[in-house]
Chains A and B, each alone.
Chain A
Amino acid sequence: MRVAILSGGLNAERDVSLRSGRRVSQALRASMSDAELIEVDLDAEFLDSLNSDSYDVVVPLIHGVIGEDATLRSMLELKGIPFIGSGAASAARAFDKGIAAGLVPPGSAPPFVAFPQSFFREMGAPRILTSVISGIGLPLVVKPISGGSALGVRLCTGADQVAPALVDAFGYGDRVMLQQAVFGTELAVTVIDLDGIATALPPVEIVPVGGIYDFHARYTAGATEFFTPARLDPDTLNRVCSYAVSVHEVLGLRAISRVDVIVDSQGEIWFLEVNVAPGMTETSLVPQAIEAAGLQVGQVFSDLIYQAVR
Chain B
Amino acid sequence: MAGNRLDPWVDSYAERAQGLTASAIRALFAVASRPEVVSLAGGMPYVSALDSDRFAQIAAKVVRDQGTVALQYGSGQGDPTLREQILEISGLVGVRSHPDDVVVTAGSQMGLDLVTKVFCDPGDTVLVESPSYVGALGVFRSYQCNVVHVAMDHEGLDPQALREALGQAKSSGSRVKFIYTIPSFHNPAGLTQGLQRRKEILAIAQEFNVPILEDDPYGLLGFEGEPPKAIRSLDDQGVIYLGSFSKIIASGLRVGWVIAPHGVREKLVLAAEAATLCPSNFSQLTVSRYLSEENWQQQIKVFQELYRERRDALLQAMQAYMPTGTTWTVPQGGFYSWVTLPAPLNATNMLPRAISSLVAYVPGTGFYADGQGSTNLRLSYCYPQPDRIAEGVRRLAGVIDAELDLINTFGAAQTDQTATPPVRSINPLSNLN
Interface residues of A (CB under 8 A from B): 8, 10-16, 18, 43, 110, 117, 120-121, 125-126, 129-131, 133-134, 137-139, 141, 143, 148-155, 157-160, 162-164, 166-168, 170-172, 179, 181-186, 205-209, 211-216, 218-228, 231, 260, 262, 270, 272-273, 282-283, 288
Shortest Cβ distance from residue A233 to the other chain B in the assembled complex, whole angstroms: 14
* Cα A110 to Cα B431 with chains together (Å): 9
Q: Given that A133-B419, A220-B21 are known contacts, is A214 also in contact with B426, CB under 8 Å in the complex?
A: no
Query: Across the interface, do B352 and A222 meet the contact criterion of CB distance under 8 Å?
Result: no
B415 interface neighbour in A8, A129, A282, Cβ under 8 Å:
A129
Query: Across the interface, do B429 and A207 meet the contact criterion of CB distance under 8 Å?
Result: yes
A221 interface neighbour in B7, B351, B352, B414, Cβ under 8 Å:
B7
Contact partners of B353 in chain A: CB under 8 A: 171-172
Query: Across the interface, do B30 and A125 meet the contact criterion of CB distance under 8 Å?
Result: no
Q: State which of B159-167, B332-340, B403-411 sits at the interface with chain A.
A: B403-411
Q: List 25 A-B contacts (CB under 8 A).
A: A10-B358, A12-B31, A14-B30, A14-B34, A16-B27, A125-B412, A134-B420, A150-B433, A152-B352, A155-B426, A163-B413, A164-B410, A167-B410, A171-B351, A172-B353, A181-B430, A214-B432, A215-B27, A216-B24, A220-B21, A222-B6, A225-B3, A225-B5, A226-B6, A272-B431
Query: Across the interface, do B27 and A183 meet the contact criterion of CB distance under 8 Å?
Result: no
Query: Across the interface, do A160 and B415 meet the contact criterion of CB distance under 8 Å?
Result: yes
Query: Across the interface, do A10 and B420 meet the contact criterion of CB distance under 8 Å?
Result: no
Does B427 make an interface contact (CB < 8 A)?
A: yes
Residue of B nearest to A97 (CB): B433
Contact partners of A130 in chain B: CB under 8 A: 415-416, 419
Does B274 make an interface contact (CB < 8 A)?
A: no
* Cα A259 to Cα B415 with chains together (Å): 34
Query: Across the interface, do B429 and A12 meet the contact criterion of CB distance under 8 Å?
Result: no
* Cα A14 to Cα B27 with chains together (Å): 7
A133 interface neighbour in B27, B356, B415, B427, Cβ under 8 Å:
B415
Query: Across the interface, do B415 and A121 meet the contact criterion of CB distance under 8 Å?
Result: no
Query: Across the interface, do B409 and A120 meet the contact criterion of CB distance under 8 Å?
Result: yes
Residue of B nearest to A221 (CB): B7
Given contacts A137-B421, A216-B23, 14 further A-B contacts (CB under 8 A): A110-B431, A117-B405, A134-B416, A139-B426, A155-B432, A158-B423, A163-B410, A171-B350, A216-B22, A221-B7, A221-B10, A222-B10, A224-B5, A273-B433
* Cα A221 to Cα B20 with chains together (Å): 11
Contact partners of B355 in chain A: CB under 8 A: 11-12
Does B370 make an interface contact (CB < 8 A)?
A: no
* Cα A181 to Cα B355 with chains together (Å): 29
Query: Across the interface, do B1 and A231 meet the contact criterion of CB distance under 8 Å?
Result: yes
Query: Across the interface, do B433 and A153 meet the contact criterion of CB distance under 8 Å?
Result: yes
Contact partners of B352 in chain A: CB under 8 A: 12, 151-152, 171-172
Contact partners of B417 in chain A: CB under 8 A: 159
State which residues 180-220 of B face A: CB under 8 Å: none
Interface residues of B (CB under 8 A from A): 1-7, 10, 21-24, 26-28, 30-31, 34, 36-37, 349-353, 355-356, 358, 403, 405-417, 419-424, 426-433
B409 interface neighbour in A121, A139, A206, Cβ under 8 Å:
A121
Residue of B nearest to A223 (CB): B21
Query: Across the interface, do A126 and B415 meet the contact criterion of CB distance under 8 Å?
Result: yes
* Cα A153 to Cα B352 with chains together (Å): 13
* Cα A150 to Cα B406 with chains together (Å): 21
Q: Which of B3, B36, B408, B415 has the most CB of A within 10 A?
A: B415
Query: Across the interface, do A153 and B432 meet the contact criterion of CB distance under 8 Å?
Result: yes
Contact partners of B349 in chain A: CB under 8 A: 167-168, 171
Query: Across the interface, do B7 and A222 meet the contact criterion of CB distance under 8 Å?
Result: yes
* Cα A19 to Cα B6 with chains together (Å): 16
Query: Across the interface, do B430 and A151 meet the contact criterion of CB distance under 8 Å?
Result: no
Contact partners of A129 in chain B: CB under 8 A: 413, 415
Q: Which of A131, A133, A282 has the most CB of B within 10 A?
A: A133
Contact partners of A186 in chain B: CB under 8 A: 429-431
